[in-house]
Amino acid sequence: MTVRTALQQGQQLLEDAGVTAPRLTAEVLLMHAIALEHKCDRAWLYAHSGDELREVWWIHYGRYLHERMQGKPTQYITGRQEFYGREFRVTPDVLIPRPETEHLIEAALAHANAAEAALARTPPPLDHPRGSEKSGALRILDIGAGSGAIAVTLALETKGHVFATEVSKAALHIAAENARGLGADVSLVASDLGSAFANGSFDMVVSNPPYVPSRDRDTLSREVRDFEPALALYGGEDGLDVYRRLIPEARRLLKRGGWLIMELGYESSGPVREMLGDWLDIEVLSDLAEISRVIVAKSPAPTKQ
């Protein structure tokens, strides 16, 4: 069987199974099968479309097609997902990073850049420790690290000292692997929300919390419902449970004037904004389709325990 025929047959099988983008998916799966032995990209597939498939390539390709037809997301088959121009390792232990979360990154970078510029204009105190490039740097906490996509990206795109927490040890392992692989300096901590840290420890808290209402489980695609980790998906019956805990926790963790930046679930902007109460400069950011994606707020003051 040639590469061309394998792609045609794979496309037809995926199309019959109701898989979206069947041609592209067939290409990605065949590239992944071939790449186990031979460097392969899309250009290679079409330059060698008349080549016969090796038996081992066909075996792996057939298995990948079967997995995808059963609903397993392509990203969990290949173990990879691009986010903010970088390739991250993903497994069923972590949520697959979505393009929508890049809106959170953009909001965080805008505020981080402004804060870093302000820090640069402020002379260090006389007792400023020397010899540490992180001294005086912006301190950022990502709550619910998952694959580490947010924390790793912020560590690479800012000069800040980035921390990340995660309750799942399996997810924490993947986040650490991505940080090492991409050369990001991220301090990863096993913790429920930010309980491992003291009051007023951070200049910025970011989070993409679980926000799918559990009552909506049956409306999700099988790729999401049956394969992505429930711990990272569901935020209680109404999808707001984690926000209810996260907002007061962020207020405790942030310095006065620090920023909280969170991704929003569908139609959650109103309730989440109400939870913020006396927070300052609250802003809801929408995508090009005018869907509310991110909420930003400035802490009025850390709470005391």
* Each residue's pLDDT tens digit, 179-231: 999 999 999 999 999 999 999 999 999 999 999 999 999 999 999 999 999 99
Residue 130 has pLDDT above 60, yes or no: no
Residue 125 has pLDDT above 80, yes or no: no
Mean pLDDT over 64-77 rounds to 98
Mean pLDDT over 16-27 rounds to 96
pLDDT given at position 137:
86
pLDDT given at position 288:
87
Q: How far apart are CA 186 and CA 148, in angstroms?
A: 9
User: Model-level pTM?
Assistant: 0.90
